[in-house]
Amino acid sequence: FLHKLVLGIETSCDDTAAAVVDETGNVLGEAIHSQTEVHLKTGGIIPPVAQQLHRENIHRIVHEALTASRISPSELSAVATTIKPGLALSLGIGLSFSLQLVDQFKKPFIPIHHMEAHALTIRLTNHVEFPFLVLLISGGHCLLALVQGVSDFLLLGKSLDIAPGDMLDKIARRLSLIKHPEYSTMNGGKAIEHLAKQGNKLYFDLKPPMQRAKNCDFSFSGLQNIVDKIIMQKEKEEGIEMGQILSSAADIAAAVQHTAACHIAKRTHRALLFCQQRGLLSQTNAVLVASGGVASNLYIRKALEIVANATQCTLLCPPPRLCTDNGIMIAWNGIERLRAGLGILHNTEGIRYEPK
Ligand code: KG4
Ligand code: ZN
């Protein structure tokens, strides 16, 4: 084989995913098993349950990705696996499976940082040079980082409490949107986005959080608490669950989406100006990458477009299937590391996974 081939394995949260990617970014095979349905029933992820589901699926998913790619493990250049951050119990399944595989086939092992993999995904689909700014917003992630190299990240801001997707999911649940057939098949964020189209975003006066904080951090739990209080108050006044009056729920959805978009856009604007003023990013053709489930929200994207225009940046977003957790981004990070000669382990004897 002329090309380097990497198998990527991801089990940091609630997706068991694997993929084989080559040096040029071709995806030769991929497979994913999502646990979302199980966790929706319990209203959140229970770590031992997630671990058991990873255990039940990891073998099949890796086998499917390899079979689809028509290569045998002996042809791989390396195995790359997420080792942090994430749920310790979930990470452990991917790691011990990978260590067995590299032992058996005598392959190098590449430990992957989940956030770095998200951040570098754009280089698989677009021609993007370092440095660039990345905004990661999902149900579990919320950060702004300057990406200066394959393994060179400057963290500029993060959420001090919950992630925006987590807030949207909680509000959607509070509004019982799942009970409405139109929204029942959507995740919380998507349901809010659609419902917001029928609402008046100014009906409830919500203030973007952290207006005076001179940094690029985020906060969403205060906003969530205020919205909870508004809903409670309204329900007391009207004697009916707000989820039953879709027009009121729509006003809430529109106000929350608008306020979250303002907050995200303002923090991102600060980060861009900070980097441009210090010569860390170009003043005329910098790249802003937005990724994660929340970045698929078109209202939030529009707000980011405005920020990008104001700073003469180009806004890029990976396609939706690469924005959420997947094996491709892990394999691709492995390729990037192989090419840069970074963090490749030829001896994994010292690595043993120990649950906390
Ligand atoms: O990246 P992702 O699939 O998983 C992780 O959280 O890692 O993101 C899922 C999150 C959920 O919280 C969901 O409500 C949110 O992204 N989301 C959205 C939209 N689609 C998904 N939020 C706002 N607008 C959307 N269209
Ligand atoms: Zn993720």
289-314: per-residue pLDDT in tens?
999 999 999 999 999 999 999 999 99
190 touches ligand 1 (CB under 6 Å): yes
Domains 5-121+324-340 and 132-317 equal at CATH topology level:
yes
Q: What is the mean pLDDT of residues 117-141?
A: 96
Q: Who contacts 43 (Cβ-Cβ below 8 Å, separation ≥6)?
A: 173
pTM here is 0.93
Higher pLDDT, 72 or 350: 72
pLDDT at 194: 97
Residue with CA nearest ligand 1 atom 23? 189
Average predicted confidence (pLDDT) for the chain: 94
Segment 320-325 shows an average pLDDT of 91
pLDDT band at 355 (very low <50, low <70, confident <90, very high): very low
**Among 11-25, 202-216, 237-251, 309-323, whose mean pLDDT is lowest?**
237-251
**What confidence score (pLDDT) does residue 352 get?**
62
40's tokens: 């929706």
Q: Please give the single-letter amino acid code of residue 90.
A: S
Give the number of the atom of ligand 1 that is nearest the alpha carbon of residue 188: 14
Task: Return the minimum-mean-pLDDT range out of 68-82, 239-253, 276-290.
Answer: 239-253
pLDDT of residue 264: 98
Overall size of the chain counted in residues: 356
Q: Are 348 and 99 in contact (CB under 8 A)?
A: yes
Q: Quick check: helix, strand or coil at residue 30?
A: strand
Q: What is the mean pLDDT of residues 233-238?
A: 90
- Tell me: domain 5-121+324-340, CATH 3.30.420.40, correct? yes
Q: Return the pLDDT at 311.
A: 98
CATH of domain 132-317: 3.30.420.40
Ligand 1 pocket mutation, candidates 168, 174, 325, 326, criterion most atoms within 8 A of CB: 168
pLDDT attached to residue 349:
72
Domain ranges of the chain: 5-121+324-340, 132-317
Query: Does residue 1 register a pLDDT over 60?
Result: no
356 has a pLDDT exceeding 50: no
Q: Reply yes or no on whether the pLDDT at 334 is more than 60.
A: yes
The pairing of strands 313-316 and 5-10 is: unpaired
Neighbours of 266 (CB within 10 A): 18
The pLDDT value recorded for residue 353 is 56
**Non-local CB neighbours of 60 within 8 Å, separated by 6+ positions:** 31, 33
Average pLDDT over residues 79-107: 96
Q: Kindly state the tokens that stand for 163.
A: 């992630």
Does residue 164's CB lie within 6 angstroms of at least one atom of ligand 1?
no
Distance CA 209, CA 259 (A): 8
